[in-house]
Structure 1
Amino acid sequence: MKLTLSHFWSSRHRRKSSDIRSGNFYDQGEGMVTVQYPRETIPIPDNGRYRLHNEMDDCIVCDKCVKVCPVDCIEIEPIRAIEEVGRASDGSPIRLYAAKFDIDMAKCCYCGLCTTVCPTECLTMTKTFDYSELDVRDMVYNYANLTPEEADEKRRLLDQFQKEKEASKIAAKPATVPLSESATPAARPVFKPTIKPKPQEIEAKVEIIEDKEDVEKPAAKPVFRPTIKPKTTTQPVDEKPVSEVESPPVPPKPVFRPTIKPKPPKE
């Protein structure tokens, strides 16, 4: 009873919500610690990962958050604009409309990957952590910037623009003029294969030509005879050339004869 009464007496005072980095955080061992929620809340850190929020004015509908989401909780339906819609806060041009931009927080695993890959940082996680709903369908948050009627109108304008673009390409091509009967191209000559004569027939024709006397043979060309110029020497007439000077005979080398050393006598 003494312990119970001491706690009851100390409950007159309440512990204040403070950060763990404060100097007296562990000194607050007494007092009532129950938080009167929702009138009182615990301090939320700035880097906490809670409910997602998308700022559509800065969204360029790049579809990166959809590709990186591991649970597929984000759905986007883009519509290409005919001209530039606007610019984001960082200067990025916006060329797509978002006919559908839904985030299903019932599927979200709070990994924060979608906020990391967002190029304009328009997708963030807020400090709102209490968003319980009675119906799970109310956990889907819509951030589309077009109504269904406006989305149909944008699709119709895009289809019309694409048709006009294709028609202009066809009109820009040079028209092909049909060829008249007088301007018909000449027919190609018929291919006639040539038959090579056999070697025996060639020899017979050569013999017939040689037998004829009236065939004039061309005059034979004179044989080319090169002339050799004498070499000019700078040696005097009286002296013999260096090659003709008699050199003293070289004595032959003696034949190698190995000598065998006698073995020392054994003691």
Structure 2
Amino acid sequence: MSEYFRNIKTGASTIATGMGITLQHFFNAVKRKGDAGVGDSNYFGQVDGLVTLQYPREAIPTPANGRYRLENNIDDCIGCAQCERACPIGCITIETIKVTADDLGVCGKTSGGQQKKFWLPVFDIDTAKCMTCGLCTVVCPTECLIHSPVSDFSEFDRQNLVYHFGNLTRLEAEAKKRKLQEQQAQAAKDKAAAPAKPVLSGKSVAEKTASSETEDSGKARGENTGEQ
């Protein structure tokens, strides 16, 4: 019998404790926590209060050293493809078209003054695969690849997680390819039409060498005779 009443007492005590915690949070909800960032040492020591954020209008700030969504500044990309080779899971896809001599000015330079020599019709980053290791950003010579502070980029369709950074449309890329092929074909024709340089046969070269050595020997004998 005593155990029966002891269990009732324990249940009532447990309910009272839980309700006390609930009421404490309920009354504290009239206050708001401060807006210290997650990197602030006082973040978890702030006054008790409402902690629910009005997402997406409000969001917890991300740490300055955090690695989140990978992005590319295509204006500074030179198409070296080092990031594509360095990526351990192949989430970066690049296609390049060599810039013709008359298009170098149009293609432009990077912010660091380096001339760009490739068009980039395709520069895709599959963020669904990206594991934010940062290897691609380390090898990038122009530092155009960065991990942005955007940490929430959920999508209903997985294809929307593939980000496109190319600087040419499909029609523009086809036009640039045709132009490059035409110039390469013309250069090959010009090279084929150019007059071939005469090539001395092995015998002619030997005869010319022997003749030169004979002349040099004769000059040397004449000089020695003159000295005597």
Q: TM-score, length-normalised on structure 1?
A: 0.60
Alignment of 1:29-178 (within 5 A): 30-83=48-101, 84=104, 85-174=107-196
Note the residue ranges of structure 1 that are not aligned, 5 or more in a row.
177-267
**Structure-2 change in CA distance of 1:40 and 1:76 (3 Å):** same
1:27 to partner: Cα distance: 3.8
Q: Supply the distance in 2 between the matched residues of 1:139 and 1:109 (Cα, whole angstroms).
A: 13
User: Among the aligned pairs, what percent are the same residue?
Assistant: 44
Q: Deviations over 1:52-104 (max 9, x none)?
A: 21111111111111000011011111001112232100011101001211111
Q: C-alpha separation between the residues in 2 aligned to 1:20 and 1:81? A: 46
State whether residues 35 and 41 of structure 1, in contact with CA within 8 Å, keep that contact through their aligned partners in structure 2. yes
8 Å CA contact 1:17, 1:43 repeated in 2: no
Paired amino acid for 2:95: E
Q: Identify which range, 37-46 or 22-31, moves more after superposition.
A: 22-31
What stretches of structure 2 of length at least 5 have no aligned partner? 1-15, 199-228
Contact 1:15 1:32 in 2 (8 A): yes
Deviation at 1:35, TM superposition (A): 2.2
Greater fraction helix: 2
Alpha-carbon distance, 1:20 to partner: 6.1
Separation in 2 of the partners of 1:139 and 1:20?
A: 26
Q: Partner of 1:141: helix, strand, or coil?
A: strand
Report the count of equivalent residues.
176
One-letter identity of the residue aligned with 1:46: A
Structure 1 residue 8, shift from structure 2 partner: 2.6
Once residues 125 and 31 of structure 1 are traced to their aligned partners in structure 2, the CA distance between those partners, rounded to angstroms, is 33
| Greater mean alpha carbon deviation, residues 11-20 or residues 134-143 | 11-20
CA RMSD in angstroms comes to 2.1
Q: Report the TM-score when normalising by structure 2.
A: 0.70
Deviation, 1:26, is 5.0
The 3 A distance-change label for structure 1 pair 29 and 160 is same
For 2:179 and 2:172, the matched residues in 1 are separated by 11
Measure, in 2, the Cα distance between the counterparts of 1:3 and 1:150.
65
Cα distance 1:169–1:105, how it changes in 2: closer, same or farther (>3 A)? same
| Aligned-partner SS, 1:150 | helix
Counterpart amino acid of 2:73? E
User: Is the 8 Å Cα contact of residues 38 and 63 (structure 2) preserved in structure 1?
Assistant: no
Cα distance, 1:29 vs structure 2:
5.3
